[in-house]
């Protein structure tokens, strides 16, 4: 057990000190509604903080999809009060929160249109189209 002692020691990341080295990853829970925080999401994150996670992830897509999927958004200032509330919930339980910007493509593949997520519309490979285009066309039964 002595090998795990470091896991429970505080750690400093820049100006932020975490109570331990336990990170709970941002994950889709479907606990938000139309980009809004629900009691279920509040309780879920509070339980993670009170359970001992030092750093807790909150997925927050910056695109308009957050209005139609069960996730909190981050692409508009109107989300700031609820994101602040989630950060405070994590702090009050002893942890810290971080926002993970996500593209939520797993929702788009259900027949929706792929939205550009970069400022220029250029993919990481330098192509001028989304790398997800063929997958969406295949899902719709279209020719590649």
User: Residue 30 falls within a domain, yes or no?
Assistant: yes
User: Please, how many CA atoms are within 13 Å of residue 124, restricted to the half-sphere of its CB?
Assistant: 2
Given a cut of 60, whether residue 126 has pLDDT beyond it is: no
pLDDT tens per residue, range 21-63: 999 999 888 898 877 899 999 999 999 999 999 999 998 887 6
- Domain of residue 78: give its range: 23-105
pLDDT computed for residue 144 by the predictor: 44
User: Residue 69 falls within a domain, yes or no?
Assistant: yes
CA distance 80 to 58: 13
- Is the four-CA dihedral 116, 118, 122, 124 of positive or negative sign? negative
Residues near 94 by Cβ (< 8 Å), separated by ≥ 6? 19, 49, 50, 52, 54
| pTM for this entry | 0.70
Give how many domains the chain has, as a whole number: 1
Given a cut of 90, whether residue 136 has pLDDT beyond it is: no
User: Residue 113 falls within a domain, yes or no?
Assistant: no
CATH assignment of the domain containing 89:
3.30.750
User: Residue 61 falls within a domain, yes or no?
Assistant: yes
3-state SS, residue 47: helix
User: Residue 44 falls within a domain, yes or no?
Assistant: yes
């Amino acid at each position: 057990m002595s090998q795990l002692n470091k896991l429970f020691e505080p750690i400093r990341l820049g100006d932020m000190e975490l109570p331990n080295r336990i990170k709970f990853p941002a994950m889709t829970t479907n606990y938000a509604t139309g980009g809004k925080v629900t009691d279920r999401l509040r309780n879920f994150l509070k339980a993670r903080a009170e359970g001992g996670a030092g750093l807790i992830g909150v997925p927050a897509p910056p695109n308009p999809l957050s209005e139609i999927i069960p996730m909190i958004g981050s692409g508009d200032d109107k989300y700031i009060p609820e994101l602040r509330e989630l950060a405070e919930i994590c702090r009050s339980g002893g942890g810290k929160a971080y926002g993970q910007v996500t593209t939520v493509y797993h929702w788009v593949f259900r027949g929706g249109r792929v939205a550009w997520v970069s400022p220029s519309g250029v993919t990481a490979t330098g192509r001028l189209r989304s790398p997800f285009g063929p997958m969406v066309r295949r899902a719709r039964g279209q020719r590649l």
